[in-house]
Structure 1
């Protein structure tokens, strides 16, 4: 079911781009009863940059403000409530090695502030307790505790922080890190189960028309509506159709500037290309938490990130220019265009894929980088296509992480999320600004506003997610439920 909207006055909305931002926008509008066309150039939804975890507190980013951390916390909670079958419930460890130069004690005041906000949110609405008990939001471990955990056998179904830290205690180089180590409930987030959830809802919605394999090629404002020219391939032939819309939402991710140019709505932004590497650690037989080893970005000691999945498949980030970051991978737009231009070699990776040599070389470097902190990880192997893509950063602050929406003239808005969990907040602001739904709906819960999304069957979501992963050339483990 959807909300009751007056069909006479109900406008028609185009959402351009079917990534996490566009898919979430279309889902929200369709659940409200607003007629929406979701226009996506690829054959399925949410196939952009790698998403591997919620940012439920922003603890991976020491450089961002507490305000951004709190925004990310609130947005993450709302995202879990909207997409209840997309989370991998395991903790994240924040580790400061000696090679970093930082002090783990400096993390603690901010963690206390975030926990206090989380507790307040749960006190206001118990449905917000999606990250567990607020008292357990984070915990600290010192060397003596890890030495004790080192002697234990991990239970088959780990549930406590102690259970999850056993493999870390046994395999990490405990001599080369500073204490305490922080365990925090920043859970994993499955990009494939997000895609599956959105598609299961939208494919059955009477209020959404999914236009996949369709590209916007032109747009102009005429007679108080947007006139869009849409190009698609049907039965081997190129087709151009003209469609009229009352509102247009640009949710094109790193290509948002291209639509800005068509709409003649200039905007300053940056784009950054990144990649994460899929590896398999065959010798591992334990269930790991996610582990973040802090380090100065862009140096040989850059942050190392270990993200676990089923069957000992791990995703690796290494914030060096030989692994996750790339020379000239962060670019800004120019005065002539709102679209930053990535170097051709990086754009070719997005459009045409990776050469096997580059994929293997960077994967091996990622494994070597992780083995500096977890020596036994040196035995892991490259395991297929990297997770890669480009993310937009509105404005000129490359440290910005909590961003959502900006508006331009003539019923045109851009969803400019840096992190996927900001998408729901963005479309809610658009609905409020354009008055697309009755004000009375602001009193409804996320579950009441999204009855179809929040009541999906968990097994159906996982099964479709596995199909999507395989169809895109990734191991199905990346789509499987992992954790509690």
Structure 2
């Protein structure tokens, strides 16, 4: 969809203000700036995409047995579009879905959904060959019986994975099949590099002539006018500055409710505080991501092992002692659209983690994986956690596919739960601006590909990602390209 910008008057063009430079705000800014729309982005921190621990593309939603098939299909479509918008941010390695015998679930329960997702992926590729970003559609997933898995254990460890069997061989060498239900499922749900996403947005928006960036700046007051808003911002030196915009986008992540309160809008939502942990484990072979299903919030909660180069792994464990936190799920109330997290979690969000907390919870995460993968017990703490709070619109904590909602003619709030929904939110905002007469659009749908990111050099993105990882105190490996 091409767009010709309609002026609101003879004197000035449309100007969109975005509060928040996380994955939501950065993606909206990329879409608008790519179209030549004057965009103002205000971010309280020092850079873009500096939020919750993103590591998994969710191209099919197979981590979540409890969500609907429709949510999974939505996540697939959104993930494909996101890969095209952030072409240098993907780690191309599969995910293995394993069901331990301690889990009450059926290992075959995902198969009808997987068939649906694979069919939809094939349809999307038939519709546009550029959508083939997850490998061949007929290889989207593959099931392994116990006999096939045991046969892989007799093979030598491949130095590099060149086929599906090669990806599963490291697991076959380290897992006892007696501890698992079969089949194991290998699926083309790729990884996302948080730091290469941040680098993509940073390089693109720093050079976009229509985008104005203000870091270390926080909105302190909003004034609504018949034709737009005045954002009153304060920078790190305490200096105040007003910004006049025609349309305001609230993309403040878990702090979205604070902006809703300033704007005078009420909205029901949840906020959940989460963390993922960084470990080092020297092992051989190219590892897939591994999901050991389990009942959320119990000692046997889902365990997630996400590989990066050079023996670095990111760990999730869906228990209150690891990724989840006691009292870490908070709801809004009648007096405020902003849920109130317990003060210790707010302090961690504002000031970072103390070393004892890093050591204890990372070791607990390692032990949680070692229950199922005993050799992983030799892993060591590899750095500070990736952490943040996730907003969930409404009152259903299992919701995973959400994008944007609107108030009046001059306000949008981005309410993504997963990063792959950000481009959908941006496109819906473009559609809203067209409905209001700000833009003239042709009949073609918006392409997921962005000129600002499509032309980027992969090596340059990786170097910027390494710089950001170091600046934020994380290992280089989290920025390096896999696959």
What TM-score, normalized to structure 2? 0.97
Aligned partner of 2:439 among 421, 434, 437: 437
Find the residue that maps to 1:49 and give its secondary structure: coil
2:299 is equivalent to residue 296 of structure 1: no
* TM-superposition CA deviations, 1:325-352 (whole Å, max 9, x none): 1100001011100000000011111001
Structure 2 partner of 1:286: 285
* TM-superposition CA deviations, 1:129-182 (whole Å, max 9, x none): 100111000000111111121122333331211011110110123211000000
Q: Pairwise mapping of residues 50-199 of structure 1 onto structure 2 (< 5 A)?
A: 50-199=53-202
Find the residue that maps to 2:249 and give its secondary structure: strand
Query: CA-atom RMSD, angstroms?
Result: 1.3
Taking the aligned partners of 1:244 and 1:224, their CA distance within structure 2 comes to: 10
Q: Pairwise mapping of residues 302-381 of structure 1 onto structure 2 (< 5 A)?
A: 302-381=301-380
Taking the aligned partners of 2:14 and 2:199, their CA distance within structure 1 comes to: 27
Tell me, which stretches of 5 or more residues in structure 1 are unaligned?
A: none
Taking the aligned partners of 1:23 and 1:476, their CA distance within structure 2 comes to: 22
Find the residue that maps to 1:229 and give its secondary structure: strand
Q: Pairwise mapping of residues 256-275 of structure 1 onto structure 2 (< 5 A)?
A: 256-275=256-275
Find the residue that maps to 1:221 and give its secondary structure: strand
* TM-superposition CA deviations, 1:231-250 (whole Å, max 9, x none): 112xxx32100111100000
Q: Pairwise mapping of residues 382-421 of structure 1 onto structure 2 (< 5 A)?
A: 382-421=381-420
Taking the aligned partners of 1:249 and 1:31, their CA distance within structure 2 comes to: 17
* TM-superposition CA deviations, 1:24-56 (whole Å, max 9, x none): 000100001100011100001000000001010
Contact 1:3-1:31 within 8 A present in 2 as well: no
Contact 2:170-2:284 within 8 A present in 1 as well: no
2:208 is equivalent to residue 205 of structure 1: yes
The offset of 1:4, in angstroms, is 5.4
Taking the aligned partners of 2:161 and 2:286, their CA distance within structure 1 comes to: 8
Taking the aligned partners of 1:113 and 1:225, their CA distance within structure 2 comes to: 44
Q: How many residues are treated as equivalent by the alignment?
A: 476
Taking the aligned partners of 1:199 and 1:298, their CA distance within structure 2 comes to: 36
Taking the aligned partners of 1:239 and 1:142, their CA distance within structure 2 comes to: 64
2:423 is equivalent to residue 424 of structure 1: yes
Aligned partner of 1:224 among 223, 227, 249: 227
Taking the aligned partners of 2:368 and 2:314, their CA distance within structure 1 comes to: 13
Contact 2:27-2:201 within 8 A present in 1 as well: yes
Taking the aligned partners of 2:419 and 2:447, their CA distance within structure 1 comes to: 20
The offset of 1:222, in angstroms, is 2.4
Contact 1:32-1:437 within 8 A present in 2 as well: no
Flag the 1:415–1:360 CA change in 2: closer, same or farther, 3 A.
Answer: same
Find the residue that maps to 1:287 and give its secondary structure: coil
Contact 2:4-2:441 within 8 A present in 1 as well: no
Flag the 1:213–1:441 CA change in 2: closer, same or farther, 3 A.
Answer: farther
* TM-superposition CA deviations, 1:342-393 (whole Å, max 9, x none): 0001111100111111110111111011011111000000111101100000
Taking the aligned partners of 1:54 and 1:408, their CA distance within structure 2 comes to: 30
The offset of 1:434, in angstroms, is 1.8
The offset of 1:60, in angstroms, is 0.3
The offset of 1:455, in angstroms, is 1.4
Structure 1 partner of 2:41: 38
Contact 2:208-2:452 within 8 A present in 1 as well: no
Q: Please, which moves more after superposition, 83-92 or 156-165?
A: 156-165
Taking the aligned partners of 1:433 and 1:267, their CA distance within structure 2 comes to: 20
Tell me, which stretches of 5 or more residues in structure 2 are unaligned?
A: none
Contact 2:3-2:440 within 8 A present in 1 as well: no
Aligned partner of 2:448 among 446, 459, 463: 446
Structure 2 partner of 1:466: 466
The offset of 1:441, in angstroms, is 6.6
The offset of 1:10, in angstroms, is 2.7
